[in-house]
Every structure is written in C-alpha cells, then in structure tokens.
C-alpha cells in the first residue's frame, strides 16, 4: 500500500510539473523504465532517488518530508503514512472510545493528550502535535473528504488537560460538527456492550482502491487491507451508527457538556 501510494504521489507531482518520463530521465539520469516501475508501485523506492525527483518536481517543505519519511520508514513515518493516506481518501470514519479524534483536536487538547494519555516525552510533544496539526489540514482543503467522527460519550467527559482545556475542545467540536463535510455522532453510555468496546480505528475510503482500516496503538500503526477484514469493520461502523445518538442529538449533548458548571 505505501509503495503504491508513494508511486501515485510521484506520478502526480511529475504531471503537475508538466514533465514526461523522458524529460525526467534527462534531468535525473534515472531510466524511464525504472521511473515507470516506481510510479506504478512495482519497485521499492530509494530515498536518494525520491529526494532527487522531488527537487526536480519542485516539492518542498512538509510534503517533501512526509514522502521521504514514507521511504525511510523512520522518524515520523507513522504520522507521514497517515497524512498521505488521509490526503488520498474521499471519506474518513474515525471511531474513538477514550479521546477526541485527532483530526478534531485543539492545540491545547492535543498537547495534553500527548502528555497525559500517550505519555510522550516532553521533548517530543511539540513535534508530535505539529504532526497532528498537519494531518488536520486535510479537512480545510477546498474539496475536503467526508469525515464521520464517531465518539464515545466517555471521551467527551474525560477532562484531558483540565476543565478549561476540555471546555474549549468541546466548543470546537460543536463548531466543527456544523461544517458541511463533518458529521459527529456520539455513542452514549449504554447498559449493554457494543462493538466499539473493542477499541478505536479509522476507516479510509478511496476512489479507486476501495477501503483500508488503520489501527494505532502507542508504538505502532497497522494498515488492514484484506477485504474480508475490512468488511468486519464495515459491520462495526453500521452497528455503532445504529446505537449512536442522531447528529442533532450528538451536537446537543456536546453543547450541554460545554455549558456544564465547572
């Protein structure tokens, strides 16, 4: 998946620069056959080749850093992989049981969550929440993906960062939930079990390659591509939506929690 996505990115940047494969070969010395295999995801990319191509295509800044991190599989690669996946998706579903979804976190909440929940070393907090903010940019694009945030009530009641930080976070959630591309559904505390108790996940839908599921824990990210496994998560999404409050009632609950006395 990562090799294919990186290939698509390289092809898109080449076409955006208005260059043919032959012209890129002249500028870089990389053969057209190798370039073609790289773009089609049939050949593992080397960081030196990718770096050279990105310079020729005029790709700089965080986008360049993300793509190189994908190649290296090192520092920031997990966040980079998520950003590339999310940037390609047409629809995102994020279920969270304990915290607010990363794409809807305020800066103070994100910083507190990294410290209090993820137990990130203080020296790495700024870098990590910066990665998180970069991911959020996907929802501010001119044509953003459809985003469904399914959040357990307990995540809205956990005062991550303290009451003032949480109040600001809830207020922001209420504002975000009224955007045309964002839907927030709250799974209330129930007197029985439901599939969401099995843990958080993201489901990403793509225009041409179907869907994948992303599972994150403290130290690693797993991308589930097997169709049979993805279908299990499709059923979980349907079940969660069946027990969740309506969109209107979800926003009403968020507003009531925002207004609750300290």
Residues 105-134, mean pLDDT to the nearest whole number: 88
pLDDT band, very low/low/confident/very high, at 74 (cuts 50, 70, 90)? very low
Indicate the fold that domain 80-259 takes in CATH. Answer: Endonuclease; Chain A (3.30.870)
pLDDT the model gives residue 101:
96
Q: How far apart are CA 104 and CA 132, in angstroms?
A: 10
**Sheet of 182-187, strand order:** 182-187, 146-152, 91-96, 201-206, 210-216, 221-224
As annotated, the residues of the chain forming the CATH 1.10.260.40 domain(s) are 2-74
As annotated, the residues of the chain forming the CATH 3.30.870 domain(s) are 80-259
Q: In terms of Cα–Cα distance, which of 170, 240, 163 is closest to 201?
A: 240
Q: Are strands 210-216 and 201-206 parallel, antiparallel or unpaired?
A: antiparallel
φ/ψ region of 190 (left if φ > 0, alpha if ψ in -120 to 50, else beta) reads beta
Indicate the fold that domain 2-74 takes in CATH. Answer: 434 Repressor (Amino-terminal Domain) (1.10.260)
pLDDT the model gives residue 262:
61
For 79-98, what is each residue's pLDDT tens digit?
777 888 888 899 999 999 99
Q: Answer whether residue 61 shows pLDDT above 70.
A: yes
Q: Please say whether the beta carbons of 152 and 97 come within 8 A.
A: yes
> What percent of the chain stands above pLDDT 70?
95
Q: How far apart are CA 260 and CA 262, in angstroms?
A: 6
Q: In terms of Cα–Cα distance, which of 240, 234, 238 is closest to 190?
A: 240
Half-sphere exposure of residue 153: CA atoms within 13 angstroms, side-chain side? 14
* 206: β partners: 210
Lookup: tokens for 247: 């969109």
* Torsion, CA 26, CA 55, CA 40, CA 6, rounded to 10: 170
Q: If you count them, how many residues does the chain have?
A: 262
pLDDT the model gives residue 75:
42
């Amino acid at each position: 998946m990562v090799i294919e996505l990186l290939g698509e990115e390289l092809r898109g940047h080449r076409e955006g620069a208005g260059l043919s494969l032959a012209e890129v070969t002249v500028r870089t010395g990389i053969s057209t056959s190798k370039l073609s295999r790289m773009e089609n995801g049939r050949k593992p990319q080397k960081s030196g080749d990718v770096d050279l191509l990105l310079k020729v295509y005029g790709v700089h800044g965080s986008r360049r850093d993300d793509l190189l991190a994908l190649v290296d599989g090192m520092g920031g690669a997990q966040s980079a992989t998520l950003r590339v996946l999310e940037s390609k998706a047409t629809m995102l579903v994020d279920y969270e049981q304990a915290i607010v979804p990363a794409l809807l976190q305020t800066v103070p909440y994100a910083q507190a969550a990294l410290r209090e929940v993820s137990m990130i070393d203080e020296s790495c907090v700024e870098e990590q929440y910066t990665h998180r903010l970069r991911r959020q940019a996907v929802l501010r694009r001119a044509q953003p993906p459809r985003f469904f945030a399914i959040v357990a009530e307990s995540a809205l009641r956990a005062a991550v960062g303290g009451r003032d930080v949480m109040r600001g976070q809830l207020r922001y959630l209420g504002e975000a939930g009224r955007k045309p591309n964002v839907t927030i559904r709250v799974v209330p505390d129930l007197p029985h079990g439901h599939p969401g108790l099995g843990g958080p996940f993201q489901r990403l839908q793509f225009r041409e390659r179907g869907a994948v599921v992303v599972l994150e824990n403290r130290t690693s990210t797993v991308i589930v591509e097997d169709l049979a496994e993805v279908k299990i998560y499709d059923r979980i999404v349907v079940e969660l939506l069946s027990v969740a409050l309506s969109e209107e009632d979800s926003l009403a609950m968020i507003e009531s929690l925002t207004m609750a006395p300290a």
